[in-house]
Amino acid sequence: MAMYPDLKGKTAIITGGGKRAGLGFAMAVRLAQEGVNIVLADLGDAQASPAPTQEMQALAAELQGAGVQALPLVCDMLDAAAVQAMVDTAVAHFGRIDILVNNAGVGYLMKPIVEMTVQEWDTVLGVNLRGVFLATQAVARHMIAHGGGGRIVNIASQAAKSGFPNASAYTASKHGLVGLTRVAAIELGKHRINVNAICPNHVTTGLGAWQNAYFAEQAGVSLDDYLAAMRSRIPLGRPGLQSDTANACAYLCSEQSQYMTGEAMNVSGGEEYH
């Protein structure tokens, strides 16, 4: 249901938006409901392949079916030139970019600090933090030159506020992402570019399902028992849904949130409160 008429006709880049069960595509669907044109950026089938995956093409076709324009683009967030090229292509195609959702993230590399390799650390920080810096820089330069303001939404995590075992790189990257959000908000406020982060707790995406299995195994409990314990910690009694984050994203992209910037907004059913 469309709630924010000011969003109609705008264009958003969503990084890591090419997985059906992921938060990125949920945000794409939600913004498309508001009439926002969408650039779905994600990894291709092979790192060197310029062609969007079949899944990305199918998701873009669904968005088009909902009445907006959608452009799937291959982009490895570890590759600075590829990020700039993706933004340039998006600008050439749509004329302007109004919204950047920095959603691409790596959460699979879980290990105790004493076992983690430097390469694993660099991959997580490279996608989750350096990649956000690269996309923010490229899009902010475009937004400033265009002069129309804009919105940047960074998908952080509950791991931006609390620590989790075997997730040193992930937790450090998400804490760092809140810091990057605050600095970007300060620097870009004069250009009417609002920058906020969303901190979801668990959502059973592809990544979320993998994390559940991993943490249940680490704790030596069944998946059902692990999920029951998770629900019991959450005041609202359930884990997050993709739509919870997508609704928060639409709000942060809309004029209704025009006086909010530099925030790290919890969407956690009350589990995280600082």
Binding site for ligand NAD (CB under 6 A): 15-16, 18-19, 22-24, 42-43, 75-78, 103-107, 127, 155, 157, 200, 202-203, 205-208
Q: Which is nearer to ligand NAD, 24 or 176 (CB)?
A: 24
Contact call for residues 144 and 189 (beta carbons, < 8 A): no
* 11 versus 266: smaller Cβ distance to ligand NAD: 266
Q: Which of 4, 108, 170, 226 is catalytic?
A: 170
Taking the complex as a whole, how short is the minimal distance between the CB of residue 192 and ligand NAD, in angstroms? Answer: 26
Q: Which is nearer to ligand NAD, 84 or 149 (CB)?
A: 84
**Shortest spacing between CB 268 and ligand NAD, in angstroms:** 9
Q: How far is the CB of 210 from ligand NAD (least distance, A)?
A: 8
Active site residue 273: no
Q: Taking the complex as a whole, how short is the minimal distance between the CB of residue 94 and ligand NAD, in angstroms?
A: 20
Rounded to the nearest whole angstrom, what is the least distance from the CB of residue 147 to ligand NAD in the complex?
A: 29
C-beta closer to ligand NAD: residue 110 or 207: 207
Contacts of 51 by beta carbon, 8 Å cutoff, 6+ apart: 44, 45, 74
Q: Which is nearer to ligand NAD, 85 or 144 (CB)?
A: 85
Question: Catalytic positions, please?
Answer: 170
